[in-house]
Amino acid sequence: MALIEIRNLYKSYTPKAKPVVYAVRDVHLSIRRGEILGLVGESGCGKSTLGKLILKLEQPTQGSVVFDGVDITGYSFNQMRPLRRRMQMVFQGSSQTFNPSYTLRQILREPLDNYHAEGGDEKEKWMASMLRKVGLDETYLSRYPHEMSGGQRQRCGIARALMLNPEFVVCDEAVSSVDYAIKNKILKLLVSLKKELSLTYLFISHDIAAVNRICDRIAVMYLGNLVEILPNINSSALHPYTQALLAATLPANPRERKAELVRFRENEDIPPQGCVFQNRCLYTKSLCQEARPMLEQKADRHFAACHYGL
Ligand SMILES: Nc1ncnc2c1ncn2[C@@H]1O[C@H](COP(=O)(O)OP(=O)(O)O)[C@@H](O)[C@H]1O
Ligand SMILES: [Mg+2]
């Protein structure tokens, strides 16, 4: 059974005097226990909204979210409480949300105190062991956020997310603000923590190289829609959008690059009907303007929402 199962999920916002914005549109997705599912797409395509919907930090406009077999779509704040500790989020600015006047001890104790977990001595031991897991040690407990480097703070953000022993972690641009050398170390750390603590990740990033390094499968989002789910990082993209996205951002491998396939058209209008990508796609045919392609299976565990699937 999948750990996360989302069906027919929509999230719309209605800004004043503007048309409705669909941040997430008709998304179906399952996340298996123990996998790292990458979620990629350009900025503003709905990745963070999807992550927050799964964690119930946002309420869906329509559709359902099932966590470990339990439909949590209509769960209230109080009903979510016991589940909340099982699902956590690490985000780009995690460490920027640290209270600057708190020591790391106070920062890490907060989730434990909220959930009345173990007593004082036990808490100290647990915080120290969590710090060692993320590559720091208990001497950091008395430090303030400004007394640490960006990479150390990001490790602390991960430690804080793991304090309550979650099973599922949404990593939202978790390595996007750190420089290259630190990024690689944090990615390695995330993978080793996943194994050690039997975690499942939704790894959201606009950085395809990072996604390629650690993810088992990759879901691709465009204007709120999932347009492709690749069964592994080596499978070749079927959707013209994914092809363009991968070609534009992957380290170039000249033999695999097909220059004529990798361009977008310059048109950001949201199509009123038909395929969401029709205005930018180089292969649009009349069918693409008329009917919206559904995400359908094109090969083993490989899904794409394209009438043609090049
Ligand atoms: N609270 C909100 N109110 C109105 N629009 C929002 C809100 N949150 C997100 N959006 C819009 O939803 C879309 C998706 O945003 P987001 O999920 O943050 O994208 P991403 O994480 O892929 O960059 C964007 O067009 C954004 O402007
Ligand atoms: Mg985002």
Residue with tokens 């990745």: 47
Q: Are residues 14 and 108 in the same domain?
A: no
| Domain at 71, CATH number | 3.40.50.300
Q: Are residues 136 and 200 in the same domain?
A: no
pLDDT digit string (tens) for 48-94? Answer: 999 999 999 999 999 999 999 999 999 998 999 999 999 999 987 77
Q: Are residues 63 and 150 in the same domain?
A: no
Atom from ligand 1 closest to the CA of residue 52? 17
Q: Dig out the tokens for 19 from the structure.
A: 């048309």
Q: Which amino acid is at 191?
A: V
Q: Are strands 70-71 and 62-67 parallel, antiparallel or unpaired?
A: antiparallel
Nearest ligand to the CA of 12 is 1
Range of the domain at 138: 95-163
Mean pLDDT over each residue of the chain, to the nearest integer: 90
Q: Are residues 59 and 105 in the same domain?
A: no
pLDDT given at position 260: 44
Give percent of the chain with pLDDT exceeding 70.
92
Whether 75 is in a domain gets the answer yes
Q: Which amino acid is at 109?
A: R
Of 163, 181, 197, the domain-final residue: 163
CA distance 156 to 161: 9
Q: How confident is the model at residue 19 (pLDDT cuts 50, 70, 90)?
A: confident
pLDDT digit string (tens) for 32-46? Answer: 999 999 999 988 999
pLDDT digit string (tens) for 144-155? Answer: 999 999 899 999
Of 163, 183, 217, the domain-final residue: 163
pLDDT given at position 259: 46
Q: 58 CB contacts (<8 Å, ≥6 apart)?
A: 11, 49, 52
pLDDT given at position 25: 95
Nearest ligand to the CA of 14 is 1
pLDDT given at position 249: 59
Cα–ligand 1 centroid distance for 138 (angstroms):
38
Q: Are residues 196 and 285 in the same domain?
A: yes
CB 45 within 8 A of CB 219: no
Whether 241 is in a domain gets the answer yes
Give percent of the chain with pLDDT exceeding 90.
72
Burial of 296 (0-12, 13-18, 19+ CB in 10 A): exposed
pLDDT digit string (tens) for 289-303? Answer: 999 999 999 999 999
Q: How confident is the model at residue 179 (pLDDT cuts 50, 70, 90)?
A: confident
Residue 305 pLDDT > 90? yes
pLDDT given at position 15: 78
Q: Are residues 145 and 189 in the same domain?
A: no
Best residue among 42, 49, 50, 53 to mutate for probing ligand 1, ranked by most atoms within 8 Å of CB: 49
- Closest residue by Cα to atom 10, ligand 1, is 23
CA distance 291 to 31: 28
Q: Are residues 206 and 300 in the same domain?
A: yes
pLDDT digit string (tens) for 238-263? Answer: 999 998 888 765 544 545 544 444 56
Q: Are residues 75 and 40 in the same domain?
A: yes
Q: Are residues 110 and 183 in the same domain?
A: no
Of 143, 163, 183, the domain-final residue: 163
pLDDT given at position 310: 57
Average pLDDT, integer, range 159-165: 95
Cα–ligand 1 centroid distance for 4 (angstroms):
22
Sign of CA dihedral 245, 251, 255, 256: negative
The angle formed by the CA atoms of residues 247, 249 and 252, to the nearest 5 degrees, is: 60
CB 285 within 8 A of CB 307: yes
Q: Are residues 68 and 168 in the same domain?
A: yes
Q: Are residues 196 and 78 in the same domain?
A: yes
Best residue among 16, 45, 173, 222 to mutate for probing ligand 1, ranked by most atoms within 8 Å of CB: 45
pLDDT given at position 256: 52
Q: What are phi and psi of 200, to 5 degrees?
A: -125, 135
Nearest ligand to the CA of 42 is 1
Structural domains of the chain, count: 2
